[in-house]
Structure 1
Amino acid sequence: MFFRALLLLLILLCSNCENQKGETSPILQGLLALDYLILSDPDRSSVYFSTTRSASVEIAYEDGAEPNTGNFAVAPTTSVWSVTESNLINAFADRGYTVNVTVPTDLSSMSEFPDQGRSTWTINQLLALVPKYKAEDSNFQSAKFFVVFVKGSLAENSGVIAVTVSGAFGIGAPTVFVFKEIINHFQDNLSPDKVRKAEQMTVTHELGHALGLVNTGIPLSSDHQDTAHGNHCTNTSCGMYWALGDDRVDSFSPGTNPLIFGSECITDIRDYTP
């Protein structure tokens, strides 16, 4: 909203500058085109929480970077990917209408792509995967979130577990990139179940960013943005906290409470009525 307000101000200023001429300036033409692109982009928080009636997650993975599937050992009847599903369902709940959420649960419903032979990735190299392997795009009724598991690490910061990337000014669908080897080794001596929990907490955290948390599309209802760490929550027990610590993973109980977003972030979502 801030960017659109700034854009409108620039348009008005440029219009005033050109009032004495009989044609639209190239600058104004460019600003109008950019405004049209933003308005025609369905991948925005204001669309997700107004006209969207279905949301699905598409998952692709590099050969050798397969996501965890199956059930949790600590909760044998709980599917690993039910964590992502439950959190998305909760994010879209209580809006006076129903949003149907679909999340794949096994590798047969995910897409594998060849080993890319990289030990590090730049953002541009990651984004180059999207047109190759993303099958569906969002529209104003259906949100399509894309999650990609890769080997290696982010070149700019080898300690990053995952990153959500969208186009300039928010134009373009957000895509979540998960660095599988970093998750597998972010703490020493991880049990298989701990890796499953860490992976799901990571995916859900990044999808939170894609939805617009914290203050990246969904406005704040209270002062809980950890500005020192960017768009993260100050609540250390919230899934949008900046660090995925060992104690948080240990205390997470997907069988009894799969929801990771804290009350502050949920209140932001519930109060958001674009």
Structure 2
Amino acid sequence: MKSSLIKTFLFFLVFYSCSSSMSEENIENPTVTVNENRQATGSSANDLLSDINFKKITVEIAFIEGFEPIETAKNNFKTFIENRINKPEGIEFITNEIPNTGKTVYTLEEVVAIEKENRTAYNTDTTIAVWVLFINGKSSNDTNSSSVLGTAYWNTSFVIYEETIHNLSNSSFDPERSMLETSVINHEFGHILGLTNLGTDLQSDHEDEEHPKHCDEEDCLMYWAAETSQGIGNMLSAGSVPTLDAQCLADLKANGGK
């Protein structure tokens, strides 16, 4: 009898402890759902573009120590967002410096692991959050002839291979760094906005058959060359950052954007 009473007491003690911990966690973060920010790329395009479910956007600029994007590129990114999305309560930028990892090459799985460990901003009731990581190394998908400059990998996440961008903008014959950073950042953000045919429906036939989920117009920001070293130089040769063409703009407007 005494043994049964002790077991019953311990059961309720453990149950109460677990219940209390969960209740306290929910009180501190009552509306945060991490899984909402770990969905397929483009699946939150309408949530980002329109004001139906979210009135505000928070952009977390995360960077490995020593690889923060320059201020001009950040300002250009904010202007790009303001021009494309409907968020009546505005846009908030926060920064998050991450210690050097000691790595020089990153798989996408390693990029994801860094986000899981360091991301602080997630969706809440009225705010949608975006994570942008500027990393101190190159992509494991680089080849001898081409380097990856950025990759959108979740619905509110993308990575910029900042060290590669540094290497492509260090000499007088290379593109200006602010233009290169801006072009790649805006291109990857375009992907999480659902471009091209990646969650935002096409209003006309302009997806590149040879490079799916990219625009077939060579002057458009969403042209495939904007995220690789193989073609970005030609896109920036005119001395300005590429913009979205009329077809991509029409797609965004039809999905709740400006």
TM-score by length of 1: 0.68
Q: Deviations over 1:18-37 (max 9, x none)?
A: xxxxxxxxxxxxxxxxxxx8
Give matches, 1:33-44, under 5 Å: 44=44
Q: Which of the numbers 229, 248, 251 marks the counterpart of 2:238?
A: 251
In 2: Cα distance, 1:273 partner to 1:240 partner: 19
Give matches, 1:150-161, under 5 Å: 150-158=135-143, 159-161=147-149
Residues 203, 251 of structure 2: 8 Å contact kept: yes
Give the CA RMSD over aligned residues. 2.8
**Unaligned stretches of 5+ residues in structure 1:** 1-36, 70-78, 104-108, 167-172
Partner of 1:251, secondary structure, is coil
Question: Is residue 182 of structure 1 aligned with residue 164 of structure 2?
Answer: yes
Partner of 2:152, secondary structure, is strand
Give matches, 1:1-20, under 5 Å: none
Residues 57, 129 of structure 2: 8 Å contact kept: yes
Per the TM alignment, residue 63 of structure 1 is displaced from its structure 2 partner at its CA by: 1.6
Partner of 1:238, secondary structure, is coil
Bigger-Rg structure (1/2): 2
In 1: Cα distance, 2:56 partner to 2:63 partner: 23
Aligned AA (1:120): V
Partner of 2:176, secondary structure, is helix
Per the TM alignment, residue 212 of structure 1 is displaced from its structure 2 partner at its CA by: 1.0
Give matches, 1:118-267, under 5 Å: 118-139=103-124, 141-158=126-143, 159-166=147-154, 173-186=155-168, 189-190=171-172, 194-244=176-226, 245-253=232-240, 260-267=243-250
- Over 3 Å counting, the alpha-carbon distance change for 1:56 and 1:191 in structure 2 is farther
In 1: Cα distance, 2:157 partner to 2:212 partner: 18
Residues 87, 260 of structure 1: 8 Å contact kept: no
My pick for the range that moved more, 218-227 or 40-49, is 40-49
Quote the sequence identity (%).
21
In 2: Cα distance, 1:212 partner to 1:140 partner: 22
Q: Please name the residue that 2:80 is paired with.
A: 87
Residues 184, 190 of structure 1: 8 Å contact kept: no
In 1: Cα distance, 2:247 partner to 2:102 partner: 41
Residues 85, 102 of structure 1: 8 Å contact kept: no
Residues 62, 149 of structure 1: 8 Å contact kept: yes
Residues 187, 222 of structure 2: 8 Å contact kept: yes
In 2: Cα distance, 1:183 partner to 1:92 partner: 27
Partner of 1:163, secondary structure, is strand
Q: Please name the residue that 1:268 is paired with.
A: 251
Residues 169, 177 of structure 2: 8 Å contact kept: no
- Over 3 Å counting, the alpha-carbon distance change for 1:102 and 1:151 in structure 2 is same
In 2: Cα distance, 1:229 partner to 1:187 partner: 25
TM-score by length of 2: 0.72
Q: Please name the residue that 1:65 is paired with.
A: 67
Per the TM alignment, residue 191 of structure 1 is displaced from its structure 2 partner at its CA by: 6.8
Aligned residues: 210
Per the TM alignment, residue 123 of structure 1 is displaced from its structure 2 partner at its CA by: 1.1
